[in-house]
Chains A and B, each alone.
Chain A
């Protein structure tokens, strides 16, 4: 969708971007990551030609951008900046409709779209459409900023540290919202950031920049697991393996189809099952398979009676769709070595263990 071919930018005697080549597939979120002054923002701004390139070629949707005039090019690319840049003289609605209005699209249709877009970024259109930017908080303003960039439905979105000026709590929320939006709209996004956590969270691919060059261009997991050199390793941080935890869902790390018991089973059955599997505890499920409790091996051994009389409550459970970071955090919080995994309806689907997670994260290192 976007292809950079030997793109170079020279300011006087300083080479800001040094023959960068990269390709971004449709629907991908590509994060340009690096310390300040590494050329990531300049690279992005050459795509919509806010910065003219010195040499090289950029293709968007297969078209050489040098054959398009600035205005056509920019209107086909959504643009979100850190300083947000909503026009203070226009209402939220008119801000969102700037590009459709410039393109002479029908007013009614674009206003309707503005209302939909506001809903998509979790702002109530009834409340916000007629407000002015100054009446909105920073987080709300940037939600409008994102809506504005999407208004003309461009296939490509450029985002220049869009959530960098927003407080941490709101940032987390707006990142999540954007990811949801992106899952639905599947835009091709180039996203500039200097925050490795943000990059790991948002990116399908990360390009790490240093001194105007791409040092490594790979998936977040590969960058965290196999940094190409000490610069990348330092940049992603010494806790990079921990960061990988958030890239893996519980479902991927889970042991599925675990043994289970129901309330009516004898304790001896539970003990036999645990010994067969080498487990020290077993989950008791309800009649339809919802996780209800747990029976521990040392408590059950040598005792009589049914599971229903001797089970304990589960100290905690984890949803299949949560990431491993949350799972590990839960384990530490509740002093557990394993967690029962349930789906949205509470049905028992499997378990994750500390050993299993360690093994999974270590796999990529053993292969090499």
Chain B
């Protein structure tokens, strides 16, 4: 009940923090897509490279987020950005790589080789093959990777508040330091709602972008 009162009286602030959180995620995921998908496509050409890249991305995933933020402080301090928005984005981009690269790679590798042969036999260039056939068929699986990364990032971004990146984590960190259960619950609730909403909207996007010919086999 007290939590509810807190939410109502601090509504504008919650919205502000939420937008902050969301914009952090949006920027990070956009960068992650722009980097991860091409990497995932490229490594389909070379088995050894694929193994290494996927391994490296998996290693990054295992670094605890607080440690990763800590690691980035000295590195980004070189350009005077040791704390705040930039290290948060960098960390989130790094965490997103594994689901996005792995899903892109797997989806393209799983495409029926007959389709590739037909495409080659008809005189498609590698780029046309990618654009006309491989990416459209891989798209649902790639978006699944993006959904995973997004939900993961929403959770990780909560911790970014400790390096001054703001977001909904602010409520949680304050809740802990001031032993204020209302703020803690508000933060947790808001993060969950954001994660669910983001996931649902990406699911909707996935359905929209998938060719009807690929749906529900």
Partner-B contacts on A (CB < 8 A): 48, 50, 70-75, 79, 81, 83-91, 98-99, 102, 132-134, 148, 158
B120 at the A interface (CB under 8 A): yes
Given contacts A71-B125, A74-B120, A74-B121, is CB(A87)–CB(B115) below 8 Å? yes
Q: Which residues of B contact A72 (CB under 8 A)?
A: 123
Is B67's CB within 8 Å of the partner chain A?
Answer: no
Known contacts A50-B117, A83-B117; 14 further A-B pairs (Cβ under 8 A)? A71-B124, A75-B123, A81-B114, A85-B115, A87-B115, A87-B133, A88-B115, A88-B214, A89-B211, A89-B214, A98-B124, A99-B122, A134-B213, A148-B122
Ranked nearest first, the 7 interchain pairs of A and B with the lowest CB-CB distance are A85-B118, A132-B213, A74-B123, A83-B114, A79-B121, A75-B123, A89-B211
- Distance in angstroms from A156 CB to nearest chain B CB is 12
Q: A85: which of B112, B123, B217 is its contact (CB, 8 Å)?
A: B112
B214 and A73 form a contact (CB under 8 A): no
Closest Cβ of chain A to B9, distance in Å, is: 51
Q: Establish whether residues A75 and B122, one from each chain, have CB atoms under 8 Å apart when the complex forms.
A: yes
Query: Which chain B residues border A79 with CB–CB below 8 Å?
Result: 118, 121-122
CB distance from A190 to the nearest CB of B (A): 13
Residue B156 interfacial (CB < 8 Å): no
Contacts of B125 in A (CB 8 A): 71
Residues on A with C-beta less than 8 A from B122 are 74-75, 79, 98-99, 102, 148
Q: How far is the CA of A255 from the CA of B132 in the complex (A)?
A: 59
Q: Counting CB contacts under 8 A, is B175 at the interface? A: no
- What's the minimum C-beta distance from B43 to chain A, rounded to whole angstroms? 22
Q: Which of B100-142 contact A (CB under 8 A)?
A: 112, 114-115, 117-125, 128, 132-133, 136-137
Verify B120–A134 contact, CB threshold 8 A: no
**Residue B212 interfacial (CB < 8 Å):** yes
Q: Chain B 203-217 against A: per-residue CB contact (8 Å), 1 yes, 0 no?
A: 000000001111001
**Alpha-carbon gap, A88 to B212, bound state (A):** 9
Residues of chain B contacted by A132 (CB below 8 angstroms)? 211-213
**Interface on B for A, CB 8 Å cutoff?**
112, 114-115, 117-125, 128, 132-133, 136-137, 211-214, 217
Q: Check B132 against A81 for contact (C-beta < 8 Å).
A: no
If A91-B213, A102-B122 touch, whether A83 touches B133 (CB-CB below 8 Å) is no
- For the residues of A in contact with B, the DSSP-based class is mixed
Cα separation A72 to B124 with both chains bound (whole Å)? 10
> Which residue of the partner chain, among B120, B123, B213, contacts A99 with CB atoms under 8 Å?
B123
Residues of B within 8 Å of A84, CB to CB, are 114, 118
Asked if residues A102 and B128 are in contact (CB atoms below 8 Å), the reply is yes
Interchain nearest-CB distance for A298 vs B (Å) = 64
The smallest beta-carbon distance between B185 and chain A, in angstroms, is 45
CB–CB A50/B132 < 8 A: no
Contact A90 B117 (CB under 8 A): no
Contacts of A90 in B (CB 8 A): 132, 211, 213
Question: A102–B123 contact, CB under 8 A?
Answer: yes
Residue from the list A50, A91, A102, A148 in contact with B124, Cβ < 8 A: A102
**Bound Cα distance A83, B118 (Å):** 9
A90 to B125, CA, bound (A): 18
Cβ distance B75 to chain A, nearest Cβ, rounded Å = 42
Q: Which residue of A lies closest to B115 (CB)?
A: A85
Say whether, besides A88-B211, A90-B211, A83 and B112 are in contact (CB < 8 Å). Answer: yes
The CA of A91 and the CA of B114, in the complex, are separated in Å by 18
Nearest chain A CB to B6's CB is how many angstroms away? 49
A-B contact pairs, 6 of them (CB 8 A): A71-B125, A81-B114, A85-B118, A90-B132, A98-B132, A132-B213
Residues of A with C-beta under 8 A to B119: 85, 87
A143 → B minimal CB distance (Å): 15
Report whether B132 and A87 are in contact in the complex, using a CB–CB cutoff of 8 Å.
yes
Complexed CA–CA distance, A88 and B118 (Å): 12
Taken together as a complex, chains A and B put the C-alpha atoms of A158 and B125 apart, in Å, by 19
Are B213 and A88 closer than 8 Å at their CB atoms? Answer: yes
B211 to chain A, nearest CB (A): 4
A148 to B, closest residue via Cβ: B122
Q: Which residue of A lies closest to B113 (CB)?
A: A83
Distance between A221 CB and nearest chain B CB, rounded to angstroms: 32
Partner of A81, one of B117, B123, B136, B217: B117
B136 cross-chain contacts in A, Cβ below 8 A: 89
